[in-house]
Amino acid sequence: MAEIAVVNYGIGNIGSILNMLRKLRVAAEVVCDARGVMAAKRLVLPGIGAFDACMGALTSSGLREAVLEFAHADRPLLGICVGMQMLTHGSEEGALPGLGLIDAYTRKLPAKTGLRIPHMGWDDVRWCQPSHPLARDLLGESRFYFVHSYCVSCSSPANLLAACSYGIEFAAAITRGRTSGVQFHPEKSHRFGLQLLGSFAST
């Protein structure tokens, strides 16, 4: 059995994630059905583009309930980019509900003078829960690659795993139990992304 399964519901940067896991020599596979999701040791939920397109595709693929069941069983789940936003209750970008696994909501990044939207490029991340497994080996310099126009706001500080600033402070990573999400792209973040994915593979 692979150490990490990546959910394929038709949207997501699956190839780049698999390439990073290969560099780590972590056995990984792509899962396309509920049986594959439930058999996984650890699950990655990718997402790129619009919130409603991702949620709609996850639902129409028949995998929404399987992902929820996996998370409710307190098994390791990592959402990436829009995959993180999907863990929240919903998004200002669309009308469909999110998975509601973490008490948070996704809002549009506010326009600020001199700042371009989307927030694109490398930025510093501050870990708010240093003892969390994903923060391991990242408590010094911690820079990740972002591409997003919407950001997550947590209802409780207990769910804020990491923060970043771009006009406002927003959640760079969120967590509840063994479900976590990152707004940045670890698969595009070189050694920092390798460290984070390696930590996830050992949770």
Amino acid 132: pLDDT: 97
Amino acid 98: pLDDT: 98
Q: Is the dihedral of CA 66, 67, 70, 71 positive or negative?
A: negative
Omega prior to 118 cis, within 30 of 0: yes
Q: Which of 54, 119, 154, 187 is catalytic?
A: 187
Tokens 């693929």: give the residue. Answer: 61
Amino acid 21: pLDDT: 96
Strand-pair partners of 91: 106
CATH class, domain 4-201, is alpha beta
Choose between 196 and 13: higher pLDDT: 196
Known catalytic residue at 148: no
Q: Which of 72, 169, 185, 190 is catalytic?
A: 185
pTM of the model: 0.97
Q: Is the pLDDT of residue 123 over 80?
A: yes
Q: Where are the beta strands (DSSP E) in 14-69?
A: 28-31, 43-45
Strand-pair partners of 15: none
Q: Which of 81, 128, 151, 154 is catalytic?
A: 81
The tokens of 66 are what? 């399987």
For residue range 141-200, what is the model confidence (pLDDT) as tens digits?
Answer: 899 999 999 999 999 999 999 999 999 999 999 999 999 999 999 999 999 999 999 999
For residue range 24-58, what is the model confidence (pLDDT) as tens digits?
Answer: 999 999 999 999 999 999 999 999 999 999 999 99
* Rounded alpha-carbon distances, angstroms, from residue 180 to 111, 114, 118: 27, 32, 23
Known catalytic residue at 3: no
The tokens of 93 are what? 């970008």
Known catalytic residue at 187: yes
Amino acid 139: pLDDT: 87
